Amino acid sequence: MASSDEEGEIVPEGVNDYYFIDDKYQPVSLSILPLLMSMDEIKCDLASTVYLCGTSDDGMKEIFKQIIAWKFELSSVQPEISVLSKDKVWITLQRPRKSHESIIRTVLVTLYWLHFVRRNPEESRMSVWKYLPEVFSSSDIKLSENDIQNHVSLIREAAGRDKDLAKSEVLILCLNQLALLALPIEFAKCQP
């Protein structure tokens, strides 16, 4: 566990059974927080207050921490998501609470999609959508190609920062298709 210098408390390295709430105790997605790829990007002028709730130490310790940002890593065996506490300590997210899966679904699907296309740049679009149900087979997450449409800016940001990801044929095709979807309907109808 990491120690927080400001409060002298123990900050967990990882949190299971996690979920996020706002200052009114309403469930929220981590996607409302800023996405950071380095500590240099930290901005503390958040429009809303978000808390991470969950457990650590095999469920022995309850976690309730204010968080200010999030990041992800695609180079590991599985995608890794971390949140930044108000005390500037990164906390790794391990498994969401079942009841929170529907709220965080689009982010998780997008990150696993990015992870697959980064590791398999030559694979087809069909291969990605065969892989994803296997990943989420033990959860209640229902997959949809619309999930990644909700995070086009995240996909573009990831591709801009990761040259291996940017080479993926599926990613390039997807971004081109999503760009067409953003065009007015009349113009899109003219496309071959």
- Asked whether residue 106 falls in the same domain as residue 162, the answer is yes
- Asked whether residue 124 falls in the same domain as residue 82, the answer is no
* 37 or 95, greater pLDDT: 95
- Asked whether residue 82 falls in the same domain as residue 116, the answer is no
- Asked whether residue 79 falls in the same domain as residue 15, the answer is yes
Examine the pLDDT at 41 and tell me if it is beyond 80: no
Query: What confidence tier does 147 reach under pLDDT thresholds 50, 70, 90?
Result: confident
- Asked whether residue 81 falls in the same domain as residue 113, the answer is no
Among residues 74, 96, 118, the one where a domain terminates is 96
Query: What confidence tier does 146 reach under pLDDT thresholds 50, 70, 90?
Result: confident
- Asked whether residue 133 falls in the same domain as residue 112, the answer is yes
Question: What's the pLDDT score for residue 5?
Answer: 40
Crossing angle (nearest 10°) for helices 125-135 and 169-182: 100
Among residues 96, 125, 141, the one where a domain terminates is 96
* 58 or 1, greater pLDDT: 58
Among residues 75, 96, 117, the one where a domain terminates is 96
Crossing angle (nearest 10°) for helices 152-161 and 101-119: 30
Question: What's the pLDDT score for residue 8?
Answer: 53
- Asked whether residue 109 falls in the same domain as residue 163, the answer is yes
Query: What confidence tier does 77 reach under pLDDT thresholds 50, 70, 90?
Result: very high
Question: What's the pLDDT score for residue 37?
Answer: 73
- Asked whether residue 49 falls in the same domain as residue 107, the answer is no
- Asked whether residue 58 falls in the same domain as residue 106, the answer is no
The reported pTM is 0.83
DSSP labels for 96-135? E-GGGHHHHHHHHHHHHHHHHHHH-TT--HHHHHHHHHHH
Question: What is the C-alpha to C-alpha distance for residues 115 and 38, in angstroms, rounded to an integer?
Answer: 19
- Asked whether residue 109 falls in the same domain as residue 65, the answer is no
* 60 or 40, greater pLDDT: 60
Question: What is the C-alpha to C-alpha distance for residues 50 and 31, in angstroms, rounded to an integer?
Answer: 11
- Asked whether residue 124 falls in the same domain as residue 151, the answer is yes
> Percentage of the chain surpassing pLDDT 70?
82
* 124 or 42, greater pLDDT: 124
3-state secondary structure of 61: strand
pLDDT per position as a tens digit, 2-14: 433 445 566 678 9
**Which range marks the domain in which residue 62 is found?**
2-96
Work out how many domains the chain is built from and give that number. 2
- Asked whether residue 92 falls in the same domain as residue 114, the answer is no
